[in-house]
Amino acid sequence: MAAKLFVRKRDGRIEVRLNEAGRAAVREIFGHVVAAERDPDHEWRTSLNAPITPSRDDDDPLATLARQSEIATNVELAVMTLNESQLNENEAWAWLATIQIALRSTALAHGFLDDDTLAAGDADVLNEIHLMQQLLFDLAACL
């Protein structure tokens, strides 16, 4: 059984059990979200700002602005706490939200819209996706 990457402590904080390679991978994930947020030509830009339910807020600039503000706040907090050994619940939530955005953006950028296209994907991209999924599952179990 694999070791847990995140463990909730008795005091409510979440211990981050990532080694330096794990933190480097998370740093890269967070970096892509920051880059997509700032660079209008980034491959994730379209999926980063896409509505969650297109029929509900596709043309609503206020909904788009609120989503952009939430993404910016979460990724900034995630980046600021990247080297922490323990996270509070808000910081852990920021990590979770940022990794979710990265996972969704990666899948959309590579056209992984169903199991068949995912299975035919590049091995390196699939490894990135599996890493993000593992981080999400382990972190979600603590929240």
Per-residue pLDDT of 108-118, as tens digits, reads 889 998 889 98
Which residues does residue 32 pair with via DSSP β-bridges, in sequence order?
Answer: none
Is the pLDDT reported for residue 21 higher than 90?
A: yes
pLDDT at res. 44: 79
Task: Supply the DSSP symbol for 137.
Answer: H
Residue 103 included in any domain: yes
Residue 127 included in any domain: yes
Contacts of 36 (CB under 8 A, 6+ apart): 42, 43, 44, 45, 48, 105
Specify the higher pLDDT residue, 140 or 73.
140
Integer Rg of the chain from CA:
16
Residue-number span of the structural domain to which 133 is assigned = 16-48+60-142
Contacts of 59 (CB under 8 A, 6+ apart): none
Ramachandran category for residue 122: left, alpha or beta (phi over 0 → left; psi -120 to 50 → alpha): beta
Mean pLDDT for all residues in the chain: 86
pTM of the model: 0.84
Residue 132 included in any domain: yes
Residue 2 included in any domain: no
Tokens 């892509």, residue?
A: 32
Quote the number of domains for the chain.
Answer: 1
Residue 110 included in any domain: yes
Q: How confident is the model at residue 60 (pLDDT cuts 50, 70, 90)?
A: low
- Are the CB atoms for 9 and 15 separated by under 8 Å? yes
The proportion of the chain whose per-residue pLDDT surpasses 70, expressed as a percent, equals 83
Beta strands in 1-143 (DSSP E): 6-8, 14-16, 86-87
Q: How confident is the model at residue 71 (pLDDT cuts 50, 70, 90)?
A: confident
pLDDT tens digits for range 76-104: 999 999 999 999 999 999 999 999 999 99
C-alpha to C-alpha distance for 3 and 19, rounded to whole angstroms: 12
Residue 3 included in any domain: no
Residue 133 included in any domain: yes
pLDDT at res. 43: 83
- Are the CB atoms for 15 and 6 separated by under 8 Å? yes
The proportion of the chain whose per-residue pLDDT surpasses 90, expressed as a percent, equals 59
Ramachandran category for residue 12: left, alpha or beta (phi over 0 → left; psi -120 to 50 → alpha): left
Residue 54 included in any domain: no
Q: What is the mean pLDDT of residues 34-48?
A: 80
Task: Please give the distance of CA 53 from its chain centroid, rounded to a whole number.
Answer: 19
pLDDT at res. 54: 56
